């Protein structure tokens, strides 16, 4: 499979890209730091990626980098089977409420600019006859909750967009895979107390790769979060308020 990957330098992205490399997928990495990209490309070559691993600068906070990066990737791979977006930003609710510039960066990266990037990606995938667009959102987008109001709002909008994209374009060959991680132990969650059912990146990416291969429209990671969120989605608002959820 020929894959363009935004966010393979760390966390779940790195674990997923390594799994793809190990089975011989051809990868092209996009990211914001050329040195990190070069190190990640070398790491993936050592893990077995075929055809060399190309890289191009692409910063979620610089939308002008998106089209040139995707063009370079398409030219290098000659065909696109999948675009994977694990890149994202997180900050605590307290930090986001206190700092307008940080709030703007997180909302812009996780919602507006991820959607701009997906729009360019889906156009290229459809022009190539179809393919898979896999994007990481979050269970934080499933309900409005006090600890993740702002981050959750960006992810809720992103999830909504991806579900709509799936309804509109699947018949034309675009397979949208919306990933909803629960709590996974990565740099993003370092310093936070892991809740029950916290996952390790190397474990959760196995079911995510299966979902990419099958074109499953929605995948929770770890999978048990599907049932946790089913209960949370059903909680009456008055009860959420009473228990301070
Ligand atoms: N970990 C969790 O518990 C959890 C839960 C729910 C949802 N998620 C979502 O899952 C995805 C992956 O999370 P993770 O835990 O693996 O995070 P992570 O370890 O912090 O990795 C985040 C990735 O995003 C990239 N990135 C950040 N800002 C960027 C920018 N402006 N332009 C381009 N790339 C940028 C980082 O690249 P650099 O190397 O350049 O920093 C890194 O490769 C994210 O979308 C996150 O919101 C995570």
Is the pLDDT at 51 greater than 90? The verdict is: no
Composition of the chain by helix, strand, coil, percent to 5: 55, 15, 30
Q: How far does residue 241's CA lie from ligand 1's centre (Å)?
A: 30
Residues of the chain with pLDDT > 90, as a percent, come to: 95
CA distance 216 to 152: 23
Token digits of residue 142: 């499933």
Give pLDDT, residue 243.
86
Give pLDDT, residue 244.
82
Least confident range from 48-57, 98-107, 110-119: namely 48-57
Report the nearest atom of ligand 1 relative to the CA of 198.
3
Q: What is the pLDDT of residues 189-245, one digit of tens each?
A: 999 999 999 999 999 999 999 999 999 999 999 999 999 999 999 999 999 999 888
Q: How far does residue 10's CA lie from ligand 1's centre (Å)?
A: 7
Q: Work out the pLDDT band at 140, boundaries 50, 70, 90.
A: very high
CB distance 186 to ligand 1 below 6 Å? yes
| pLDDT mean over 93-112 | 98
CA distance 220 to 159: 12
Cα–chain-centroid distance for residue 159? 11
Q: What is the pLDDT of residues 9-24, one digit of tens each?
A: 999 999 999 999 999 9
pTM of the model: 0.97
CB distance 183 to ligand 1 below 6 Å? yes
Is the pLDDT at 50 greater than 90? The verdict is: no
């Amino acid at each position: 499979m020929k894959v363009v990957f935004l966010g393979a330098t760390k966390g779940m992205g790195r674990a997923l890209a390594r799994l793809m490399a190990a089975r011989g997928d051809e990868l092209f990495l996009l990211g914001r730091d050329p040195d990190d990209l070069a190190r990640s490309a070398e790491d993936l070559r050592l893990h077995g990626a075929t055809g060399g691993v190309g890289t191009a600068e692409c910063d979620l906070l610089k939308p002008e980098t998106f089209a040139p990066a995707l063009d370079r990737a398409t030219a290098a791979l000659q065909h696109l089977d999948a675009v994977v977006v694990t890149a994202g930003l997180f900050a605590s609710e307290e930090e986001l409420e206190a700092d307008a510039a940080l709030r703007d960066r997180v909302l812009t990266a996780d919602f507006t600019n991820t959607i701009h990037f997906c729009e360019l990606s889906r156009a290229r995938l459809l022009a190539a006859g179809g393919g898979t667009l896999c994007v990481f959102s979050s269970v934080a987008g499933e309900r409005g909750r006090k600890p993740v109001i702002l981050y959750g709002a960006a992810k809720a909008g992103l999830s909504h967009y991806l579900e709509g994209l799936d309804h509109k374009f699947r018949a034309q060959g675009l397979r949208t895979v919306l990933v909803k991680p629960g709590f996974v132990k990565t740099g993003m969650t370092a310093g936070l107390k892991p809740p029950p059912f916290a996952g390790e990146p190397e474990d959760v990416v196995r079911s995510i790769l299966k979902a990419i291969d099958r074109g499953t429209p929605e995948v929770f990671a770890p999978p048990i979060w599907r049932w946790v969120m089913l209960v949370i989605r059903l909680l009456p608002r008055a009860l959420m308020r009473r228990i301070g959820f």
